[in-house]
Amino acid sequence: MVTPFRRVDETFSCYDNFMEMDILGSPVSIECHHAWEHLRLLLQNAWKSIGEEQAPNSMVEAGTIGDILTESSLTLIGFSKGCTVLNQLMYELEDACSNKAILAFIRRIEALYWLDGGHVGTIPTYVTDDNVLREISKLKATFYVHVTPYQVKDEGRPHIGEEHLQFISKLMQYGADIKSTLHFRDESRSLKKHFEVIKLF
């Protein structure tokens, strides 16, 4: 699990290390922020820490860590505002693929999960840019989108539901392997149900 770079009032998660965000953690730009390289290095350091804990008196070889990162399959999961990190990775995908080390890392991804994404900023909650969607549809991965009425039926933020449908339909149009599920479809919006999607996916 990647924890937020900072939290505001123990409520608002802010992933500033992946993208430019405002004071409350809503994305304000999709300009390249080296999100893929940051994620790769986070996982590299995590594997190194695990190795050192298991064998504290031995050195973990850099080559071994590199092998793990290029041979192990990966699943990326974003929940609620954490989906902004997945989006940022998608916006940066084309540029990231020009780096051989990052491309090898990206090729290990088998699945990506968007779990009830939402935020109060002006940047889209789901990727709707056709050029970006064409690029990400080339990934040899399965895309999973699990939502609840809490986000996609919010009358105060109707754009979330609209962007969610565009994201799904366009990825299908471009041939991506995508599976979408609306949980609690006949129930009223509920913060409790929003969190329950974590158990259901």
Closest to 90 in 3D by CA, of 104, 73, 78, 72: 78
Distance CA 26, CA 72 (A): 32
pTM score: 0.86
pLDDT tens profile 61-107: 555 555 555 567 899 999 999 999 999 999 999 999 999 989 999 99
Which fold does the domain 6-200 belong to in CATH? Rossmann fold (3.40.50)
Domain boundaries, the chain: 6-200
Distance CA 89, CA 77 (A): 12
- Tell me the pairing of strands 74-79 and 109-115: parallel
